[in-house]
Amino acid sequence: YNAVGILTSGGDSSGMNPAIRSIVRAALNSGVKQVFGVRRGYQGLVSDDITLMSSRSVTNIVQKGGTVLKSARCPEFSDPSVRDVAARNLSSRGIEALVVIGGDGSLTGAHILCQEHGIPVIGLPGTIDNDIPGTDDTIGFDTAVNTAVEAIDRIRDTARSHERLFLVEVMGRNSGFIATQVGIACGAEMVVVPEYAFDFHDLCITLAERHSKGQGSSGIIVVAEGRDPDLTHRLAAQLKAQGQDPKISILGHIQRGGSPSGHDRMLASCLGTAAVEYLLAGYSDIMVGVHKGAIVDVPLQRVIEEKKVLDRKLFDIAALLHK
């Protein structure tokens, strides 16, 4: 390839910058003549907000959160005529292939662009939610988990000092990957996720048992944000009706940014390098991910069609270990 483009799209995640850096450098060091950065995801592709990148332009970003290319949602990209404009902008600059870093929506957009216009694309899983099929891990998940764990450790101090129950809501959209790992890592008394049934009665029994054992009423319940935006508040109201006085803490956007963890920097650097290798080997319409410690390629079609399942065993471990 003479020229390839990179874009970050959808919700930002920590590790997108080391991914950008590795793609730029791996490409330029492997004979690609030009690497272009597309700003603000698909929006920049449509509005032709595209800049030439160099090895120097990605200096000192390996440790930075967010994405230097910016990210955005671009709902118009669902319109074929808008995608025509994007394809024209790519070809007018001689950009022959595209690497897209983002979540399932972004990877869907990449797949459609490839199918419709024959533009070779490689996707990288970039989301804190870890909800992408075909890969065990996503860029930004580890950092988000660590940030939430650190925050909950602090909340735990207050919960114990004041013998208070805390409901802590973590991100994850419709999946409970963050909640489950954070719950295990923080020794949460309960984890509530969209994937598995939650037994309110069981929670009340657990809390009563703790109380009778003299463990007071302090505790942490980790709630995945899930589909129901009111779940955490409803749970708090139900617990109040049972004589508890829970506090609510919604961690929110602190989970998305921040300096990427060592793990996410490694993951992003290895996946970015692999994306270039796959591209230069003639692959297209795939996502590059990790499975059982090895780099794998997964057809984007499969990524879009499948749903990643939260390991029941992991969820059960969270329940087993708090007792």
Q: Check whether 140 is labelled as a binding-site residue.
A: no
- The residues facing 98 across adjacent strands are 5, 121
Is 11 annotated as belonging to a binding site?
yes
Least separation in angstroms between CB 46 and ligand ADP? 9
List active site positions. 129
Minimum CB–partner distance for residue 300 and ligand ADP (Å): 12
Q: Is 10 in the site for ligand ADP (CB under 6 A)?
A: yes
- DSSP H or E segment with residue 209: helix 200-212
Work out which of 37, 104, 194, 267 binds ligand ADP, going by CB under 6 A: 104
Per CB under 6 A, 133 contacts ligand ADP: no
Q: How far apart are CA 62 and CA 262, in angstroms?
A: 10
Whole-number Å distance between alpha carbons of 166 and 269 = 37
Q: Where does residue 222 rank: exposed (0-12), middle (13-18), buried (19+ CB within 10 A)?
A: buried
Q: Are 18 and 260 in contact (CB under 8 A)?
A: yes
Minimum CB–partner distance for residue 207 and ligand ADP (Å): 36
The Cα 247–Cα 7 span in angstroms is 40
Is 150 annotated as ligand-binding? no
Of 63-92, which residues contact ligand ADP (CB under 6 A)? 73-75, 77-78
The beta strands (E) that lie in the chain are given as 3-8, 34-38, 50-53, 97-102, 121-125, 165-170, 190-192, 219-224, 247-250, 286-291, 294-299
Q: Which residues pair with 166 in a beta bridge?
A: 220, 247
Q: Is 204 annotated as a binding residue?
A: no
Q: Please tell me whether residue 42 binds ligand ADP under the rule CB under 6 A.
A: yes
Instruction: State yes or no: 25 annotated in a binding site.
Output: yes
Residue 105 binds ligand ADP, judged by CB under 6 A:
yes
Cβ 168 to ligand ADP, closest distance in Å? 23
Provide the annotated binding site for ATP. 11, 73-74, 103-106
Annotated binding-site residue numbers for Mg(2+)? 104
Contacts with ligand ADP by CB under 6 A lie at 9-11, 42, 73-75, 77-78, 102-106, 108-109, 112, 127
